Structure formats: C-alpha cells, structure tokens
Structure 1
Amino acid sequence: MELKNLGEFNFIHSIESDTIYDPNTVVQGIGDDCAVYKVTEGYEQLVSTDTMVEGVHFSFQYMMPYDVGYRLMTANLSDIAAMGGIPRQVVLSVAAPGHIDTRILEEIYRGVKEQCQHYHVNLIGGDTVSIDGPMVWTITIIGEIPQGKAVLRSGAQPGDVVGVTNYIGYAATGLGSLSYNLDGYPMTRIGHQRPEPQIELGITLRELGVHSMNDISDGLSSELNEIAKSSRVSIIIDETLIPLHEETYKLAEALQTNPIDYALLGGEDFQLVFTAPKELSKALENLGSITLIGEVIEGEPVVQSVTKAKEIRLLEAKGYNHFHE
C-alpha cells in the first residue's frame, strides 16, 4: 500500500509497537504530545542528531531498506560511543513521498528497531511527513554519561598515543566493491551496509582514562584533524600501522588505488579514534581490538603521516563534506 493511501496516523500506529526496550527509563513513550523519560541521578545527558538523505547517504542500489534503518541507528549510536556514553532514547522523523510503498518504510523501521533492541535503546517518538522528493530520515539520540566524564575531542595532550578500533577503511571498501560490481568482498560489504557502533569499546576506553575521542564517520584524516584543532596539538601517525582488512588490499589492487586512502578518506566505518596517556599503551593493546598508530606532539594543530616510503606528508581534513565544491 502507498503511504498516501494508508495515511500518516495509520502508518504511525502500525509501527509504534515494540519500541520500548528499557522500560525502567521511560514514563511515557509514543502516543502523547511529548515523550517523558527518566534521567539517572549523577549522570549528564548527551544528545546528537543525524540525517540520512536518499541518494546522498544511501541508495537502494547498494542496500536493502532494512540496512538503511540499521545504518541510520549505527550512525547515531556511534556519536554516543565517541563520548564514552550510554545510549538511552531516540526519536525518529521521516519525510517520504506519498507514493512510496509502506513495506519499504516498515523494513527501514525494522532495521532501526533491531538496533534499538540490541543496545537497549527506546524509540519514544518522532514525526512522519510528506515530501516531493527523496526520503529524508532524521534521528535524535539521547544518551547519558557519569557526571564530568564525557570524553571530548579537545582533551588530547602532548605525549599521548593515538589509537583506533578494529579495521579502518572497511566500509569504503565494501561500497567500492558494490559500485564496481566486484565479487569477493563479503565482509566489507556487510561493513558498508550494516556497520556496528562501538558502544562497549567507547565505555571501556572512557573507563581506562583516554584523553580524547572521535568516531570515524568522515574518514580518519578528517577525524584526526578535528582532534588536533580542538585540542590545539599536532598529531603524527604511521600509515603502515593503520589496520586495513585484506579485502581493502584486494580492492586497491583491482582498482589500482592506494589502500591507505580507503582509511584516510573513506569514512562511515563508525570506529573510534582516540588519544590516551602513553602509560595506558599496554592495557589498550590487551583489549585485542585496538591498534596504536601514532602520537600527539606539541606544535601547530596539524596532522602528519609517515608513509610506507618513510616520507612525511601533511594530512588535510579531507573526507566526506556535504558542502565541498
């Protein structure tokens, strides 16, 4: 059935079930003018918003509707992870053309709900409106963190080590294989279509005492520059230490590209990059999914890298930029 035939309120009613996964934090969910949720004593609130536009952030050519919802939730959860926080509630708004099949919308919601269920996040409200164009999905997420413990971009200090979680360039590899219709990239395709937020690692890193953190949504180069500028420090990394998946090397060879660029410029991995006191190096490495790739030094807020050829190059804040000409 098309959305215009079902109607806004009937559609909302059809998806409002199975939305509360932590009832202890909710007083009133979907069904009133506002939702009401509880705030944990001794905690501060975190809030972030992400928007995904059809044709800009996702394409049904490369992912199923379920994947769209899954990835949209990951993007929001990742912002909470980057602060070392705990996700609690979300509100979701969608602008969709009236002719769209409601089964597509239901599948997107299913992807959102399954991520919410996995991370015990409540879907407590939102809005649905008609639009004469591509779909637009917006989620606002609310999280919390022990008072005074939020890990900011501005906390990096000279002498810190720089680390990342898991593989970098993973999602860009998957998208590249889909774009060129190349077979043999099963893991990184999943990384593009259904990336996972690093909630548990974010909390662990915060509890260990890392100084700064950022999630990798726009490429490692861009995220490192954000930390350097916010903290007013210089960062230098070793490109040979950046953890790349074997499928990234395979795709780079097939397309005659530089594999490191998938990590530096690709984005949407939703992994974490952080800086931490050097004395935490052993504890960080013992986590098993952390790779130390560089250090923080005094100087102008720039990011440099040492290449495989032992050359030093300046890494500009390049990555995905919506307003770049």
Structure 2
Amino acid sequence: MLQYNMYTNRKPGDEMQLKDVGEFNFIRHIQDNTIHDPSTVITGIGDDCAVYSAKEETDQLISTDTMVEGVHFSFHYMKPYDVGYRLMTANLSDIAAMGGTPRQIVLSVAAPEYVDTAILDEVYRGIKDQCAKYHLNILGGDTVCTEGPMVWTVTIIGDVPKGTAIMRSGAQVGDIVGITNYVGYAATGLGALSYNLDGYHMTKVGHQRPDPQIELGQQLRQLGIHSMNDISDGLGSELNEIASASNVSIVIEEKAIPLHEETYELAKYLQTNPVDYALYGGEDFQLVFTAPKSLLSKLENLAGITIIGEVVSGPAQVQMVTPDKTIKTIEAKGYNHFHES
C-alpha cells in the first residue's frame, strides 16, 4: 500500500480517507472556486450534465488527457499540487496548439479508498489555480474508488474564431520552422530529480510545473502561421507529425535548437547528448510551428521565439543538420506508451 501522509500536515493515523468521506461528500467539498467565467455557464456542478453557452462566431475545440500514477507522475518527484498543475498544463497546451482560448473543463479521478483526502485536496488546488489563471470553469466530473494507481482525467473545451484553428496539416514548402522558449527542459528536470542531483532549479520546476503557451499560441494564429503542434512527446515526434500530416520534408539546424544551460550541464554530467533531451524527452508543452518567410521579422519581435529550420519539398520526413554538417534523419521516437523495447 502506498503511503501518502508524507504530503500532508497530518500525523500518521490521522488521515481522513476517501472511503470515510464518500464520493458525494467529497464532490460537495471541492465544489468551491470552480467558476471563473460565469458569462458562459448556464448550469455547472450539481446536475446530470453541465450546460454552457458557445458563441456562434467560434469553432469549438475539445481535448482530453489522462495522468496515471507511476506512468505520468510519481510522488517521489512531484507534490500532489504539482500533479494537478501539470495535468492542467497538458490540457491547456492542446488548446494553445490550435491558437485557441480555453473555456471549460470536466475532470474525473479514480483513487484508492485509503488515500488521504488531503492529497486529493492538493491535486485539486493545483488544478484550480491553473483554472483561475486562465479563467477556466470546472463544470463537473466524477470521483470513484479503485484498487489500482491513482488516475486523473481532464477533458477541456475551448474555442477559436471560426475557420482559424491552426492544424498540423498546414505546413507549406518554403515555410520557416519556429519554436517557443526552451525544449528539453522538462526531461532535464526529470533527470536531475531522478538522480537526486543538487541544483537544476529551473528545469526541476519546468518538469514539475510547466506552463502552457496560450498567449503565444493566440499571437501566432493572429500573425497567420500555417501549422502548429504542442511538444508533449518530444520535438522529434511533433515535427514528424507535422511533416506527415502536411506531406512535406522538414530540415532543422541542431545548433539552433534552444537548450537551457542546465540541459548542457546535465548532459555533461551523465555523458549524454544534450539535443536528445529536446528531440526525445517530451512534456515541455512548448509549441513548434511553421510560418511563411514573410512573417520572419514579426516573429523575431515576439519574445520566446526561435527559428530552427525550414520546410522543403520531398518525402514526409524530418532531418537535422549537425554542427559538423552531417545530415541525420530524426525518427518519431518520442515517448510512446505502447512502444515495445
């Protein structure tokens, strides 16, 4: 049986377990501070379904993400608050990748009956803080007991002006390829935490509490970029998704990929290749996009944007030019739940 009381202020034995509270009492307990934009809500938590209003001039966006204890997060490396925060970032990042605005969520948790409700409270606090920051409403969900690990699922609803959602399939030959902020950041933080290394403060936080790029996604859409993807499974995987969906070839420059100094430091310590953290690490929740070259000057004026390559004609593939001018084909081998090693 997993021990969770290390994450509460309660002494062992003083926990209020989920089985003692019950599903409906716990739902009532967490109902506060769930509506941050009442203008879009007709009926929230408390009925068989929530009812919200959508503007006629928008297209609706919907996505869902699940985090399983032991697969997507570990309480050895993350506090319960961080789990909720990071779960929301994963969902918000999908909306950012379309250039959209997040509006509503529903969320469900399956938790062992012996879990201290203080743990669940902290996860919900991380979720609610992200919802408050981005004016998201929590419209409902479900809470159940399980004999297995803890599982959290969020379904997010957003919108985008009609006909303007940015797809993976829009890349065009002649486009430039850009990226937001640093990549390999989260994998660096996870590596430092896994090896219990001192320092690495920035990237540890980047793994535990990454932020979605909502504003940059909207700005890029408004500028008129052609395609976009969020980096959840590694830059190599996301670029291959764009290349495949758009039937184009993408060439990037290794030396142009923005890596944090802590990534170089960890790679030196572990004797690994620093660029691999960006290509295959995943969970940075940054954005990679393609845009017409005519937007170059405007993109360069946006904080946090780096141009790393271009779209060329050829088979759907991704290639990288190394500092010694070697050309490497980058496979789509980011994190894959069903990959057999």
Please, what TM-score do these two structures have when normalized by structure 1?
A: 1.00
Match of 2:139, SS state, is strand
- Any idea what SS the aligned residue of 1:117 has? helix
* Residue 286, structure 1, aligned to residue 301, structure 2: yes
Moved over 4 A (4+): none
Q: Give the distance between the partners of 1:176 and 1:294, measured in 2 at CA.
A: 27
Match of 2:205 in 1: 190
Q: Residue 217 of structure 2 is aligned with which of 188, 191, 202?
A: 202
- 1:308 Cα offset (Å): 1.8
CA displacement 1:82-118 (0-9 Å, x = unmatched): 0000000000000111000000000000000000000
Task: Answer yes or no: is 1:298 the counterpart of 2:320.
Answer: no
Counterpart CA distance in 2 for 1:314 and 1:201 is 29
Match of 1:91 among 106, 119, 124: 106
Give 1:270-281 correspondences, 5 Å limit.
270-281=285-296
Shift of 1:310: 1.1
Q: Distance in 2 between matches of 1:285 and 1:166?
A: 13
For this pair of structures, how many residues does the alignment match?
Answer: 325
- 2:256 is equivalent to residue 245 of structure 1: no
Partner of 1:319: 334
Which position in structure 2 is the counterpart of 1:179?
194
- Could you say what secondary structure the match of 1:316 adopts? coil
2:211 is equivalent to residue 162 of structure 1: no
Question: Quick one: distance in 2 between partners of 1:288 and 1:47?
Answer: 28
- Alpha-carbon deviation of 1:272? 0.1
| Overall identity of the aligned pairs, in % | 72
For the residues of structure 1 that align with 2:254 and 2:184, how far apart are their CA atoms?
A: 12
Match of 2:7 in 1: none
Match of 2:63 among 48, 64, 69: 48
Q: Where does residue 76 of structure 2 map in the other structure?
A: 61
Q: In structure 2, what residue type is equivalent to 1:123? A: I
The residue type equivalent to 1:201 in the other structure is L
CA–CA separation in structure 2 for the residues paired with 1:195 and 1:170: 9
Following the alignment from structure 1 to structure 2, what is the Cα–Cα distance between the partners of residues 77 and 304? 29
Amino acid aligned to 2:203: T
Letter in 2 for 1:195: P
State the Cα deviation string for residues 224-256 of structure 1 (Å, max 9, x = none): 000000000000000100000000000001110
Distance, in Å, in 2 between the alignment partners of 1:88 and 1:184 is 37
The CA deviation at 1:262 is 0.4
What RMSD over aligned residues (CA atoms) do the two structures have, in Å? 0.4
Please tell me whether residue 28 in structure 1 is matched to residue 50 in structure 2: no
In structure 1, the residue matched to 2:89 is 74
Give me the whole-angstrom Cα distance separating, in 1, the residues matched to 2:323 and 2:106.
Answer: 45
Superposed CA deviations along residues 262-288 of structure 1, whole A, max 9, x for unmatched, are 000000000000000011011001102
1: CA distance, partners of 2:30 / 2:183:
35
Q: Alpha-carbon deviation of 1:70? A: 0.1
The answer for the alignment partner of 1:102 in structure 2 is 117
State the SS of the aligned residue for 2:106. Answer: strand
Q: How does 1:71-150 map to 2 (within 5 A)?
A: 71-150=86-165
Q: Measure, in 1, the Cα distance between the counterparts of 2:246 and 2:290.
A: 11
SS at match of 1:32: coil
